[in-house]
Chains A and B, each alone.
Chain A
């Protein structure tokens, strides 16, 4: 009973001991920094730095004085921080004859974007609702034309629209541009709303009909309150899209009414005068602030908006 092999045999009778003798059990603990992880996160961080670099360069350039820009390199942080370029970009920089800075373009963009977003969403949501719940004969033909038409390059349609706007007396005005944005926002937004309203259970719609609600009653009392998320997505798509527009702004408005992007381009790419890179970069950031704010504030909804845009394809 006392020889060594029997000790092992005795141990095997005790479950706890035998478990220890059999070696470690359970999944092998992963080291926090395995080779795979180091490679994975290393690549991701390098790529993230690359994507962040232009934003960083914009910010540091806009905070330097011109002498420092001429001497130093664009990646170095400012030695002496100055906000003068920002002030100048906002309120005194010249475009053409006007010397009241980008603030003019900013307010123009606000005056263009707000009504465009409201109008385009109002039209498209009602359209989508009619297509989803009140389909009439031929409705789908027009909808198909609308979707196919959204692939036609804008350049094909810009001149006929100039003529239409001139005929109705809106060419060169803010409202003309608002109308253009509503037209070109229509395909994607109508699709977005149609798909969302189709996914709302039909029983709700039927019950409301039985209770005597009509077209507008159901829209305002049932569909709209139930679809707030999709309205938010639509606001995000339209706000960033319209704010960032350049082509329509430059074609359908006059210099006094140019949106911010057009004015920014005129400031930076003007061939007259000494180039003030710090003011240019401050102006560039100012123009990018609104869509960036929308982007960071909306988070996952922005991605959802993109996914909705992808449905178009």
Chain B
């Protein structure tokens, strides 16, 4: 603000600076400071308490031979890939259905989106109950006469991650639908008219014209889903607590357990740093695209 030239540089705009102190502290101390601190201590052999005794990459070497971490990474990869694919596909189909000028649009949207208002704990516990083999879907189908029917994902270590995926999709697809619906509504009505005049079938218009036009919306949605996937923790805790055995472990749970239960801080720091690297791998190309586009525009 050029209005206050008389005051000294520091005092100028003092109120705004004072008001920004919480933001500056959060940004510098917690976000930057905290991240750097964790990365530095991931090179130490901290156990119960953090201490600066450096051991190089030892924690990382141990991390990548620990079966539990390998299972966690594998689960995250499966859950992530399937969750991304299915949320985008189901979310887009829902959005496309909602975009057909239907009646009761608000009612349908309310129904598809309400799981998103619920916590992962509630989501996990409900689906734990529905997937319970003794009382849930399996027993209901068996009581209908198909006595050999087996559907017990939460008790079968080979497929437990799919049981978690079912719950995760139920909770999150409404959000994807909402984001993509906003994107669809942003498409110019003239595009649709032109496509209809040219006699292009609706599905082709979606696939080859509308979806490519929605690329920015898709990328944003992708980033939102991905940063949620990396953080997935409560859902697993509520639904399976990582079991049976260690078969549904995820990295976020590994970090928590090593930091606060196993009292092996160094492992926890190394694992959380690996999570950070995962996020960076996703975010940096996106930021580059976003930034590149802004510069060209």
Contacts and interface: CB of A to CB of B under 8 A. Distances in A.
Chains A and B come from one and the same complex:
yes
Interface of A: 40-41, 43-44, 47-48, 51-55, 57-58, 61, 69-70, 73-75, 123, 126-127, 129-131, 134-136, 139, 142-143, 145-146, 148-149, 151-161, 163-164, 182-183, 186, 190, 209, 214-216, 240, 243-247, 251, 261, 264-265, 268-269, 277, 280-281, 284, 287-288, 291-292, 294-296, 299-300, 302-303, 306-307, 309-310, 312-313
A44 B102 contact: yes
B81 interface: no
Contacts of B28: 142, 145
Contact of A156 (B109, B130, B223, B275): B275
Q: Sort chain B's interface into a size bin.
A: 35 or more
Contacts of B129: 57-58, 61, 74, 277, 280-281
A142 B24 contact: yes
Given A215-B15, A244-B118, A295-B117, A153 B230 contact: yes
B108 A44 contact: yes
A75 B122 CA distance: 18
B17 A303 contact: no
B119 A160 contact: no
Interface string B110-132: 11111111111110011111100
A145 B27 contact: yes
Nearest to B103: A41
Given A44-B108, A74-B130, A246-B237, 4 more contacts: A152-B35, A190-B23, A247-B256, A277-B135
A151 B282 CA distance: 10
B279 A287 contact: no
B130 A159 contact: no
Contacts of A157: 30-31, 34-35, 38
Nearest to A55: B114
B126 A57 contact: yes
Interface stretch (B54-62, B65-73, B175-183, B192-200): B175-183
Counting chain A CB atoms within 10 Å of each CB, the highest count among B31, B143, B170, B230 belongs to B31
Contact of B23 (A73, A143, A240, A287): A143
B265 to A, nearest CB: 7
Given A40-B102, A61-B129, A155 B31 contact: no
Contacts of A61: 129
Contacts of B137: 74
A157 B23 CA distance: 16
Contacts of B140: 73-75
8 A-B pairs closest in CB distance: A149-B31, A244-B119, A215-B15, A134-B16, A160-B34, A295-B117, A157-B34, A145-B27
B272 A156 contact: yes
A265 B20 contact: no
B79 interface: no
A170 B263 CA distance: 21
Contacts of B114: 51, 55, 292, 295-296
Contacts of B256: 155, 247, 251
Contacts of B111: 48, 51-52
A18 B231 CA distance: 72
Contact of A310 (B26, B120, B126, B224): B224
Interface string B132-146: 000111011001000
Contacts of A183: 26, 30
A159 B279 CA distance: 19
A288 B118 contact: yes
9 contacts: A48-B111, A73-B139, A127-B20, A130-B16, A151-B279, A156-B276, A159-B50, A268-B128, A307-B178
Nearest to A122: B22
B119 A247 contact: no
Given A74-B136, A152-B35, A155-B255, A261 B231 contact: no
A265 B3 contact: no
B97 A40 contact: yes
A186 B37 CA distance: 21
Nearest to B27: A145
B29 interface: yes
